[in-house]
Amino acid sequence: MTTPLRVAMIGTGFMGRMHAHAWRTAHRFFDLPRTPELTLLVGRDPQRTAAAATAFGFDASADDWRRAVERDDIDIVDICTPGDTHAEIALAALAAGKHVLCEKPLANDVAEADLMVAAAERAHARGVVSMCGFSYRRTPALSLARRLVEQGRIGEVRHVRAQYLQDWLSDPDAPFTWRLDKTRAGSGTLGDIGAHSIDTAQWLTGDDIVGVSAMMRTFVPTRPVLEEQVGLGGRAQADAPRRSVTVDDAAAFTARFAGGAMGVFEATRLATGHRNSNRIEINGDRGSIAFDFRAMNELEFYDAADPAGEQGFRRIQANEPEHPYADAWWPAGHGLGYEHLFTHQVVDLVRAIAGGEAVSPTFADAARVQRVLAAVEQSAARDSIHVPVEGETA
């Protein structure tokens, strides 16, 4: 029998459901030093939260996040709420000696992120662990890509290009959600999905972005407000009242890495035909790696040292026992899915709490992403250089 790790999770939506599944699953497939126990679920609506607690497998529910911090029988607080609440909850939980898992982006601005980093570092000195939930790091194929980059298989990194494309807001009558309110979400597409690309790029290369030049657009300035919100991609009636969108629909920027590489990033929630297209490619002087989440069990790898007649990207099926995380799951050749990333996240976090390995990404790692997000917004707020048309004076 292992020591239990008693979990309080705050948030009952899509991400909360995914985290709950991971907490229930991790110890059933991986040998963990502590066994997660779903102790408390917190949400805003008491009845809905109680129903979710039953569905998710939690022992109890509450409608105030402070209950999770105050209870002595809680070991870790898992924050799956909108960004405007991250800092307050995390700071209170860390001060109370609770381990913390916080969904990305870490905060709504750099100042909040810095406060969270400082609190995490103070808590770490007392043995308290904190992690930010950049789940794509736990894709076996991407973890393999990081291993190849660390081993020098692609050499000196020169180019990074990343795209994260979705289309659930392409309909101008898709309803307003909290993700479209800057006071709650911090930013729109940039922070919601662009943050993943930024974290993945910095993590894979082991290098920080130190300069950006950006453009951001809000293509649909108002969205209908519904009395009862529908799911992503739902459509409102034509006569529904509309509310101003205060975040970006799309962001694009070039980046300069500290080591000299250049990057090109694009994120949008209006790319029709792309439900969830998350792609990154890194080119070095000795080879390249490319990953597309639509084929999440595959990694493309190019080795420039191959004979000329054999050169080209080759596809690696990242579901062999030798690949990260894969040996705990199905027989070789049987793929994993999106939900497995969150299970792997729990595995790594529980092992870090037990002292078996270093936690990653730390709040400090997430704060570096937050600084890039802020720099992109600042760059996009400046006027671009006008390109004169024929006959116009420059």
CATH number at residue 121: 3.40.50.720
Last residue of a domain, one of 77, 105, 135: 135
199 with 313: CB under 8 angstroms? no
User: Given this model, what pLDDT does residue 166 score?
Assistant: 98
State the Cα–Cα distance between residues 330 and 332, nearest whole angstrom: 6
**Domain-embedded: residue 145:** yes
User: Given this model, what pLDDT does residue 383 score?
Assistant: 77
Considering the domain architecture, whether residues 218 and 108 belong to the same structural domain is answered as no
**Domain-embedded: residue 355:** no
CATH number at residue 147: 3.30.360.10
Considering the domain architecture, whether residues 124 and 157 belong to the same structural domain is answered as no
User: Given this model, what pLDDT does residue 2 score?
Assistant: 83
Considering the domain architecture, whether residues 304 and 375 belong to the same structural domain is answered as yes
Model's pTM, two decimal places?
0.95
**Domain-embedded: residue 389:** no
User: Given this model, what pLDDT does residue 356 score?
Assistant: 75
Considering the domain architecture, whether residues 325 and 193 belong to the same structural domain is answered as yes
Cα 356 → chain centroid: 24
**Domain-embedded: residue 79:** yes
State the Cα–Cα distance between residues 244 and 229, nearest whole angstrom: 16
Considering the domain architecture, whether residues 240 and 318 belong to the same structural domain is answered as yes
What distances in angstroms separate CA 200 from CA 17, 265, 366, one per listed residue?
Answer: 23, 11, 11
Considering the domain architecture, whether residues 233 and 171 belong to the same structural domain is answered as yes
Considering the domain architecture, whether residues 191 and 218 belong to the same structural domain is answered as yes
**Domain-embedded: residue 393:** no
User: Given this model, what pLDDT does residue 239 score?
Assistant: 77
Tens digit of each residue's pLDDT, the chain (394 residues): 689 999 999 999 999 999 999 999 999 999 999 999 999 999 999 999 999 999 999 999 999 999 999 999 999 999 999 999 999 999 999 999 999 999 999 999 999 999 999 999 999 999 999 999 999 999 999 999 999 999 999 999 999 999 999 999 999 999 999 999 999 999 999 999 999 999 999 999 999 999 999 999 999 999 999 865 444 445 556 678 999 999 999 999 999 999 999 999 999 999 999 999 999 999 999 999 999 999 999 999 999 999 999 999 999 999 999 999 999 999 999 999 999 999 999 999 999 999 978 999 999 999 999 999 999 999 999 977 888 888 776 5
Considering the domain architecture, whether residues 162 and 108 belong to the same structural domain is answered as no
| Cβ-based neighbours of 370, under 8 Å, separated by 6 or more | 105, 106, 107, 109, 110, 113
Considering the domain architecture, whether residues 332 and 189 belong to the same structural domain is answered as yes
Last residue of a domain, one of 135, 162, 191: 135
Find out whether the peptide bond into 331 is cis, omega within 30 degrees of 0: no
| Cβ-based neighbours of 275, under 8 Å, separated by 6 or more | 166, 167, 168
Considering the domain architecture, whether residues 111 and 8 belong to the same structural domain is answered as yes
Considering the domain architecture, whether residues 102 and 162 belong to the same structural domain is answered as no
- Describe the crossing of helices 14-29 and 46-56 by its angle, rounded to 10 degrees: 20
The domain containing residue 46 runs over which residues?
Answer: 3-135
SS3 annotation, the chain: CCEEEEEEEECCCHHHHHHHHHHHHHHHHCCCCEEEEEEEEECCCHHHHHHHHHHHCCCEEECCCHHHHHCCCCCEEEECCCHHHHHHHHHHHHHCCCEEEEECCCCCCHHHHHHHHHHHHHHHCCCCCEEEECHHHHCHHHHHHHHHHHCCCCCCEEEEEEEEECCCCCCCCCCCCHHHCHHHHCCCHHHHHHHHHHHHHHHHHCCCEEEEEEEEECCCCEEECCCCCCCCCCCCCCCCCEEECCCCCEEEEEEEECCCCEEEEEEECCCCCCCCEEEEEEEECCEEEEEEHHHCCEEEEEECCCCHHHCCCEEEECCCCCCCCHHHCCCCCCCCCHHHHHHHHHHHHHHHHCCCCCCCCCHHHHHHHHHHHHHHHHHHHCCCCCCCCCCCCC
User: Given this model, what pLDDT does residue 232 score?
Assistant: 45
Q: Which long-range contacts (CB under 8 A, 24 or more apart) does 385-394 make?
A: none
Considering the domain architecture, whether residues 79 and 165 belong to the same structural domain is answered as no
Domain count, the chain: 2
**Domain-embedded: residue 169:** yes
**Domain-embedded: residue 155:** yes
Last residue of a domain, one of 83, 109, 135: 135
